[in-house]
Structure 1
């Protein structure tokens, strides 16, 4: 059975943008789409008094709004809806378990200031065992494509790059496969970025790249990156791959690359290196600052 792409909706502009992005992604991957709304069963105040509408009635409006947007944008995508009761984070985490990916909205101010991520989106991205894609308000289909010849938006030009951040100390198949598949379904170029930092002589272990000058060290890392990606190039021969190796912290080159990208893909360790749910410093930084949708892919 094909797992659906799931979009969490609440009627906000960012969740409606996320629903439309999820519909386009479902269409690209030939998957069904499911819209999920988590409604709080407790009564709420309306105009100074508690509203009398039941949870089902309150849920129908966000679902109806999202359904109407999706039907207008991608009329051919198989679509169903689900109302989930209770805490939104818990409900979305349960939904994610049965999804190919979960798509959520994030409050984005602009490509320069990046995301203002709500507690629900950040909490889900930090805990989910399936990929979570965060989409800012205002994201449109044309934003995924290169501009037209005259500089205006277009949905018929080539897709923008998919950018993948790779940690060569622990490359993982789930993350790399997600990025290659995302590039394949778009016929987009995949730009793979690895950032390395100069090691202390006391931190070197057997087989590690030694303390050599910067250019030679960069070439060594580039060769390692090429070797890691070789099996994926063979599996996805139609995907054009561009490799970038840079010295420094990973978040900065990823945010720069994301400024011209259609999707940024980063990883999150399922086995946390610190107590409690965390997205990790690189994922957290790019979620806050990247100007395109960000996919957070969990891995061991």
Structure 2
């Protein structure tokens, strides 16, 4: 199966930054990029006999323009596009089924959001059983350099999370910073964290690793740990109930305050 990265576009600057990030990441992975735009119905589109052609034309032009820019940035990069009918949430979840990653735009608290940046984006991030990357508009360290920061919870499964983080650090040929933050974390947990990392250090001897146990609130500490990172990686528990798409307070804190792209890696 061809490796691919799916990007959701909604016309915002953040979604444009997400597409650029995805192109660079695809180059690292030897993957293709698939750009998707979901035709979310506007009030006018709900009125009988009103043509959807202007909305479709705008979506097609957005996809074509973005695909052209990515091919110019990364010559030879395979880029495909898809205009999807229906609701944004199921459309994006389905589009990501066979992808390595789903990449969406993100925003700081208080910013004006497109439909992938607010409740829709958070809902999708809580449903997709693939890693979801949220990218802010701006100029963070590029994906080809800079350390990778990962936050672990020693009470939760960590193999998928650490595997993703070590892979990304190895691709970037940079260091990996591992943090376990919890207000009541005793110092002796440092040994537990070090033991957890032993097989990963052996598998990735080329990746310099620092590991810290910090007695502090996880959200703010993980934001601080990712201050100079090219990528912030955190875990998210899979919740298959359609009524439960909550991604957790720690994930929310990192998503809203980290300047680096943030990856939510799902786990059981």
TM-score by length of 1: 0.80
Go from structure 1 to structure 2 and tell me whether the alpha carbon gap of 1:272 and 1:255 turns closer, same or farther (over 3 Å shift): farther
The gaps in structure 1 that reach 5 residues or longer are 146-154, 200-216
Q: Does 1:163 align with 2:131?
A: no
Tell me, in whole angstroms, the C-alpha distance in 2 between the residues paired with 1:114 and 1:293.
17
Tell me the C-alpha RMSD between the 2 structures: 2.5
Go from structure 1 to structure 2 and tell me whether the alpha carbon gap of 1:52 and 1:144 turns closer, same or farther (over 3 Å shift): closer
- Alignment coverage as a number of residue pairs: 261
Deviation at 1:75, TM superposition (A): 1.8
Deviation at 1:239, TM superposition (A): 1.0
1:105 maps to what in 2? Answer: 105
Tell me, in whole angstroms, the C-alpha distance in 2 between the residues paired with 1:290 and 1:129.
23
Contact 1:184 1:239 in 2 (8 A): yes
Tell me, in whole angstroms, the C-alpha distance in 2 between the residues paired with 1:108 and 1:249.
20
Contact 1:164 1:193 in 2 (8 A): yes
Q: Find the residue that maps to 1:33 and give its secondary structure.
A: strand
Tell me, in whole angstroms, the C-alpha distance in 2 between the residues paired with 1:119 and 1:164.
25
Contact 1:114 1:289 in 2 (8 A): no
Tell me, in whole angstroms, the C-alpha distance in 2 between the residues paired with 1:38 and 1:91.
7
Go from structure 1 to structure 2 and tell me whether the alpha carbon gap of 1:54 and 1:282 turns closer, same or farther (over 3 Å shift): same
The higher radius of gyration belongs to 1
Deviation at 1:139, TM superposition (A): 3.8
1:205 maps to what in 2? Answer: none
Q: Find the residue that maps to 1:77 and give its secondary structure.
A: coil
Q: Does 1:245 align with 2:213?
A: yes
Tell me, in whole angstroms, the C-alpha distance in 1 between the residues paired with 2:160 and 2:82.
28
Contact 2:234 2:265 in 1 (8 A): yes
The gaps in structure 2 that reach 5 residues or longer are none
TM-score by length of 2: 0.89
Q: Find the residue that maps to 1:22 and give its secondary structure.
A: helix
